[in-house]
């Protein structure tokens, strides 16, 4: 009864609060400001921030985003060296910028090192200032190794602030290396992610090799459309350094993306050889232009399958596998004949037979022997087969004949129920794993039952394998769950025509090495955010107009290693060769991804969206805890 009363009161309060929400503007001009702070310093940096912010406001920007720790810069030997330049919120920085927000009816986001007045702790923070003053703040949750020297992890969760230009969430730089940090404010209804960033590179002579290099400013290029949210990302630009502390170059390349993943504006990238001056870039976003991808994600996600988010991975993880495995994969790409099982099988077998090297894993497109057939309630009984049926045996025989693991998919009949099913065969043609598609699209829900697990299959030969069937790639949590379950490979059998979802990688020039900035953005992001090599097999042409692009995507393309290896635009068995766990010099890998993840903040991702706790967390969007009102 107490819970019901609380829910009633909460529902009434929520209704009243809705009446007071300011009406939102549709078209919003936004600005992402590049800036070069000097360290040590504060007063001159704030003066410079006032100048660039005023200019952006005079140019009509309603939202102005400034970079990470823009008031101080980054290079300090220790906390004592930074101490004289710390600020509070509210404080000197907000006092300097508030008059601009008030005069121009603008919203300003700026990054700074904040000293908590009560605890004395230092946080890498961002503050949102509006026409009436400070609206709220965010403290960086995901700290890279160097940040721990100067600041403490955030303790405010992922707040979303209601304004008359939309719901604004703040993230800071390295936050975007963990997918959960992008998903949580999105679940709270954020229209805009405002991202102060300090994305840098270090020269080899600093001794950091590639471990110190990261390009979080490049991440937003491939995730905006996947998440269905507008992104305004401002980066530091220029060289910052100090004697004995090293030299770092901040890349610039500020960018603005709409909720469809379209790049609206981007600044040029500075390099050691071609240094560039700071720029302010502008674009207009439409808050009411909703994302079909985001709607699909919210309708299709299954939080009950994401409990792995709540598990803390100690440095010693029993599921971790760091043994290098040489992978010799074949991605089979062809145009099928609908319902011509024997003919399609013959095509597949010939593409395998033509190879001059031996594969240890073959990935086939979705339902490869049935072909590009749209399944529905009227034809499913005709096309579905039981496990161990004739198509299953054909696939099993292929694996056994060519002494390889093989991923095969089929519409499965099990009694009176139907599934979209993937079977992983080992090199003897035996089952190494069976996965029933767990996230069904709207048409599949008419005829199919969902699977109820996201398994990762252990193999002694290839490592650990997860499977995403076709458009399950639209659900970001699956990729991160597979990382949490320590997948080494993610296999995607596809029937993809790039009409309903998915767009080309469109990273601004200079942020990643040439050749590493191509492919399909969602597949590209799956590999990065799971830190698992991602292998896709897709059809070419046919009645569905599929686009091919069968490929393998690597873990850290921004570091320049193992760029996407994409099949040519033809019928082909496309060979890809790589070694898992072979390069520990890069700045991120699956081990680092997991052991430093803020697992304590992930619980909302695992709750049913009708759960009272989730609803309270979403509606009380600046609350730190999961459901403070209902847990009393």
Residue 154 makes CB contacts below 8 A (sequence gap 6+) with: 123, 124, 125, 138, 139, 140, 141
Paired tokens of 65: 């985003």
CATH number at residue 174: 3.60.110.10
Residue 386: inside a domain: yes
Q: Is residue 253 included in any domain, yes or no?
A: yes
User: Is 315 part of any domain?
Assistant: no
Note if 68 is an active site residue: yes
Residue 311 lies in a domain: no
From 68, 98, 335, 477, active-site residue:
68
* 314: in domain: no
Q: Strands (DSSP E) along 198-276, which ranges?
A: 200-201, 230-235, 237-242, 246-251, 255-257, 263-266
Same domain, 254 and 140: yes
> Residue 262 contacts by C-beta under 8 Å, 6 or more apart in sequence?
225, 503
- Inside any domain, residue 310: no
Query: Is 317 inside any structural domain?
Result: no
Q: What is the mean pLDDT of each run of 10 residues along the chain (632 residues)?
A: 43 42 76 94 97 98 98 93 97 98 98 97 98 98 88 97 97 96 97 95 51 73 96 94 74 95 95 90 95 97 97 85 93 96 97 93 98 96 97 98 98 97 98 98 97 96 97 98 97 96 93 91 97 97 94 88 93 96 84 92 96 94 84 54
Domain edge (last residue) among 231, 264, 299: 299
Residues 623 and 568 reside in one and the same domain: no
Cα dihedral angle (429, 431, 432, 434), rounded to 10 degrees? 140
The verdict on 547 and 413 lying in the same domain is yes
Whether 560 maps to a domain, the answer reads: yes
What's this model's pTM, rounded to 2 decimal places? Answer: 0.94
164 and 189, same domain (yes or no): yes
Is 26 one of the catalytic residues?
Answer: no
Of 34, 98, 173, 437, the active-site residue reads: 173
Give pLDDT, residue 245: 67
Containing structural domain, residue 268: 25-299
Structural domains counted in the chain? 3
In a shared domain, residues 352 and 474? yes
369 and 277 assigned to the same domain = no
Whether residue 411 contacts residue 376, with contact meaning beta carbons closer than 8 Å, is answered with no
Same domain, 590 and 606: no
Q: Are residues 538 and 632 in the same domain?
A: no
- Asked if 626 and 588 sit in the same domain, the reply is no
The residue annotated as part of the active site, out of 140, 167, 294, 347, is 140
Instruction: Say whether both 113 and 68 belong to one domain.
Output: yes
Indicate if 246 and 333 belong to the same structural domain.
no
Kindly state whether residues 290 and 361 are assigned to the same domain: no
Beta bridge partners of 31: 64, 282
């Amino acid at each position: 009864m107490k819970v019901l009363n609380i829910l009633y009161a909460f529902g009434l309060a929520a209704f009243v609060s809705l009446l007071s929400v300011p009406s939102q503007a549709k078209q919003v001009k936004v600005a992402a400001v590049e800036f070069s702070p000097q360290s040590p310093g504060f007063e001159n940096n704030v003066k410079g921030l006032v100048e660039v912010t005023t200019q952006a406001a005079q140019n009509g920007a309603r939202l102005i985003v400034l970079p990470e720790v823009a008031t101080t810069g980054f290079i300090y030997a220790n906390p004592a060296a930074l101490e004289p330049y710390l600020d509070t919120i509210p404080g000197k920085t907000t006092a300097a910028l508030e008059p601009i927000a008030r005069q121009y009816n603008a919203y300003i986001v700026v990054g700074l090192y904040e000293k908590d007045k009560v605890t004395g702790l230092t946080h890498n923070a961002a503050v949102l200032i509006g026409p009436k003053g400070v609206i709220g703040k965010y403290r960086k949750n995901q700290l890279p190794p160097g940040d721990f020297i100067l600041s403490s992890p955030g303790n405010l969760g992922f707040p979303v602030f209601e304004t008359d230009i939309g719901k604004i969430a703040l993230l800071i730089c390295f936050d975007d290396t963990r997918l959960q940090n992008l998903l949580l404010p999105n679940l709270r209804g954020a229209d805009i992610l405002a991202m102060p960033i300090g994305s840098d590179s270090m020269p080899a002579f600093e001794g950091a090799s590639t471990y110190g290099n990261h390009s979080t400013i490049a991440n937003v290029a491939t995730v905006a459309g996947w998440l269905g949210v507008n992104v305004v990302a401002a980066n530091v630009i220029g060289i910052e350094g100090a004697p004995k502390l090293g030299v770092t170059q901040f890349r610039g390349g500020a960018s603005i993306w709409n909720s469809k993943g379209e790049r609206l504006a981007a600044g040029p990238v500075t390099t050691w050889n071609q240094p560039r001056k700071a720029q302010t870039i502008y674009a207009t976003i439409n808050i009411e232009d909703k994302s079909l991808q985001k709607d699909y994600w919210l309708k299709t996600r299954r939080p009950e399958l994401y409990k792995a988010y709540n598990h803390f991975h100690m440095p010693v993880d029993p599921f971790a596998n760091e043994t290098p495995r040489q992978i010799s994969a074949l991605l089979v790409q062809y145009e099928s004949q609908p319902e011509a099982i024997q003919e399609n099988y013959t095509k597949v077998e010939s593409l395998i037979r033509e190879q001059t090297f031996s594969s240890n894993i073959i990935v086939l497109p979705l339902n490869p022997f049935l072909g590009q057939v749209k399944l529905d309630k009227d034809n499913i009984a005709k096309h579905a087969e039981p496990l161990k049926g004739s198509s299953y045996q054909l696939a099993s025989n292929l694996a056994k004949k060519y002494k390889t693991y093989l991923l095969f998919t089929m519409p499965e009949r099990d009694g009176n129920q139907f599934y979209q099913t993937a079977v992983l065969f080992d090199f003897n043609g035996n089952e190494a794993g069976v996965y029933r598609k767990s996230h069904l699209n709207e048409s599949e829900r008419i005829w199919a039952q969902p699977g109820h697990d996201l398994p990762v299959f252990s193999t002694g030969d290839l490592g650990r394998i997860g499977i995403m069937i076709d458009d399950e790639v639209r659900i970001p949590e699956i990729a991160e769950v597979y990382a949490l379950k320590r997948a080494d490979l993610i296999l995607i059998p596809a029937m993809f025509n790039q009409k309903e979802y998915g767009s080309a990688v469109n990273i601004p020039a200079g942020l990643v090495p040439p050749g590493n900035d191509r492919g399909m953005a969602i597949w590209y992001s799956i590999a990065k955010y799971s830190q698992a090599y991602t292998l896709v097999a897709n059809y070419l042409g046919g009645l569905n107009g599929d686009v091919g692009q069968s490929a393998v995507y690597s873990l850290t393309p921004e570091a320049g290693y193992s760029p996407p290896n994409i099949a040519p635009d033809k019928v082909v068995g496309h060979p890809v060769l790589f070694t898992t766990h072979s390069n520990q010099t890069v700045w991120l890998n699956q081990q680092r991804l997991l052991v430093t993840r803020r697992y304590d903040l992930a619980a909302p991702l695992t709750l049913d969206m009708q759960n009272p706790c989730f609803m309270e967390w979403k509606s009380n969007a600046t609350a730190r805890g999961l459901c403070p009102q209902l847990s009393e």
